[in-house]
Structure 1
Amino acid sequence: MTPNDTTAPAPDAFQGLVDTARFQRARRIPIADFAYPEGVKIAVNFTLDFDAMLLRRLLNEPWGQKAKGEFGGRVGVWRIMEMFDAEDVKVTLFTPGRICELYPEVLHHVVANGHELADHMWEHEVYDDPQIEDAHLTRTLAALSKISGKPVTGTRSSHTPGLLRSKGVVYNSFSSADDLPFYELDAQGENPILQLPFHYALDDAMFFSFGWLDTPNQAQRVMDVDEVFEIWWDAFLQQYKAGGYVNFLLHPFVSGHAMRVDMLQRLIQRMKTLPGVWFPTCDALAQHILTQHPYTPASE
């Protein structure tokens, strides 16, 4: 690297990275002495991003990708929810408000069977304009609450923490920053929100999607379900032994295919052979944490 090399980083570039890392660390507050209810060794959240074709259309993807989204709303979500009901596993559907207009029958069905509806933005997008953001979140929460018959407490989004708290939303599942639930502050060090983290290694789209989000085709593959079963079982077992937490992120248009539903059912049935495995909704887990491990400012 020469003195005239225009690609050289600015002298304070490294310090900027250090400052950012320290800032992010200060925002993310681990929960001291984290513990589950008596008899529980691990919580397993199965979460579904039920956006159907909305994101496909927002990205103006080819017709084949849009058709995948429609499969998720017409076939996939019914098939996968039937399996969860058969296994008596309660799940959380992170649902855009528009889905209440497009597939209301699905949402009424899952609510009737004890599952949770949570926010996933109005049309799978958060706008920078505060007024639009507020209007979209308000509209989504109202639409979901009308179907569920109770307030919405969770989100999977980049909505402003202060706005979320003002609407009664107490948890988010939009981070991979830790392997256990934690509290996250906003950029001003305020408005703590409980984060229920997921990891992309437990995201079905990483294993079963071709051309996902404009990724080059050579970087994609559609993996064998038995190979994914072993990856996910090993990930679960590691956290089980550690007394940890796992959050599976599924998409009905991806995991709603028959052989993938069967794989998930085998995975759940194998998990059930171990003692102390809890399958709560995200809200059920969040309420336990908020009650037993409330956020406490560092100064207290």
Structure 2
Amino acid sequence: MIERDLQGYAGHPPDPRWPNGARIAVQFVLNIEEGAESCVLNGDDQSEAYLHELFGREPRLGERDLSVESMYEYGSRAGVWRILNIFNSHNLPLTVFACGLALELNPILAKALVAAGHELAGHGYRWLDYRHIGEEIEREHIQKTRKSIERLTGEKEIGWYIGRTSVNSRRLLGEMPDLLYSSDSYSDDLPYWSNTPNPWLIIPYTLVSNDVRYLLPNGCASSNEFFHLLKDSFDLLWQEGESQAKMLTVGLHSRISGHPARAMALIRFLDYILNHEKVWICRRADIARHWISQYPP
């Protein structure tokens, strides 16, 4: 059982001591899920009902939803390349939360990601709610994802984020000693060590500075709103970083931020933070290795 920790650093977090005296570490996560979502072609009993442009649309039982499928396909066909071009033109790195099946269905993308120096992290074999999946199948999915990443990129991942976890997820991943970190938590501004069942570095993720806000009824109606959400997050953390360094995560999806208007918000934000000093834009793997060196378990 994972015990709750409501105290955390109790108002006295450690100084991250980021490289070169950076006041803030900023990392961008790109989620690659397209093709791994619920679909009868994948043996599922319904179409995908989550994180697409038709909020509230009921899943179709036993049949395909071609409109929703095509919204996901926009991410893998067009959106992802726009986002990669943006980061490549700014010479900035990404961490990619990648579903194993999504990479298998798009091997050209897998090669492009690693060629550009982006980090690949595990995101489950399928983009499903693992609460409803048995332990042995989840273990099999983790192993399949790890094999797919290594086969398609030539590299082994060191981090994971499942998202919709089961009660077994953290324990199953903790069985693999070569993994350095998990991002299946939203509970802090900084990395921390979890001791369930063994020391396990947690680099928290976020659903606030995340483009899922575009698709939620209480979210961002325009790219300008999302830009200001990111800007306000950065501004406060950068100010706080004058006395103690901070960390900011930005979550992206190809099928969401890959659309032109939303991509403009991303470009504006990148240009904005690049005009600030003492900003470390890095991958989550870089943060993991740095934290382990500064604060070993």
Normalising by structure 2, report the TM-score: 0.81
**d(CA) in 2 for partners of 1:233, 1:27:** 28
| Cα displacement string for residues 99-123 of structure 1 (whole angstroms, at most 9, x for unaligned residues) | 1221110110010010011100011
2:189 alignment partner, SS class: coil
Which moved further from structure 2: 282-291 or 194-203? 194-203
1:294 corresponds, among 283, 293, 296, to 296
**d(CA) in 2 for partners of 1:192, 1:118:** 19
1:290 alignment partner, SS class: helix
Whether contact under 8 Å (1:164, 1:170) holds in the other structure is no
- Report the counterpart of residue 223 of structure 1 in structure 2: 221
Whether contact under 8 Å (1:53, 1:68) holds in the other structure is no
| Cα displacement string for residues 28-66 of structure 1 (whole angstroms, at most 9, x for unaligned residues) | 578634321232111111001110143253661343222
**d(CA) in 1 for partners of 2:154, 2:121:** 12
1:32 corresponds, among 1, 14, 18, to 14
- Report the counterpart of residue 202 of structure 2 in structure 1: 195
Whether contact under 8 Å (2:38, 2:127) holds in the other structure is no
1:124 alignment partner, SS class: coil
1:201 alignment partner, SS class: coil
Name the one with the larger helix percent: 1
Gaps of 5+ in 1: 1-19, 213-218, 296-300
- Report the counterpart of residue 276 of structure 2 in structure 1: 274
1:91 corresponds, among 94, 106, 126, to 94
User: Is the counterpart of residue 204 in structure 1 residue 211 in structure 2?
Assistant: yes
Q: CA deviation at 1:163?
A: 2.7
Whether contact under 8 Å (2:25, 2:280) holds in the other structure is yes
1:256/1:179 Cα in 2 relative to 1: closer, same or farther (>3 Å)? same
Gaps of 5+ in 2: 49-64
Normalising by structure 1, report the TM-score: 0.80
Alignment of 1:58-207 (within 5 A): 60-61=47-48, 62-125=65-128, 126=130, 128-157=133-162, 158=165, 160-167=169-176, 168-186=178-196, 190-206=197-213
Whether contact under 8 Å (1:204, 1:249) holds in the other structure is yes
Percent of pairs identical after alignment?
A: 27
Q: RMSD of the TM alignment (CA)?
A: 2.4
Whether contact under 8 Å (1:50, 1:252) holds in the other structure is yes
1:34 alignment partner, SS class: coil
- Report the counterpart of residue 240 of structure 1 in structure 2: 238
Aligned residue pairs total 263
**d(CA) in 2 for partners of 1:205, 1:56:** 18
1:56/1:36 Cα in 2 relative to 1: closer, same or farther (>3 Å)? same
Determine which structure has more spread, i.e. the larger CA radius of gyration: 1
- Report the counterpart of residue 47 of structure 1 in structure 2: 29
AA partner of residue 124 (structure 1): W
**d(CA) in 1 for partners of 2:248, 2:287:** 12
Whether contact under 8 Å (2:27, 2:284) holds in the other structure is yes
1:246 alignment partner, SS class: strand
2:282 alignment partner, SS class: coil
1:56/1:202 Cα in 2 relative to 1: closer, same or farther (>3 Å)? farther
Q: CA deviation at 1:176?
A: 1.2
2:149 alignment partner, SS class: helix
**d(CA) in 2 for partners of 1:37, 1:290:** 13
Q: CA deviation at 1:162?
A: 3.6
AA partner of residue 34 (structure 2): A
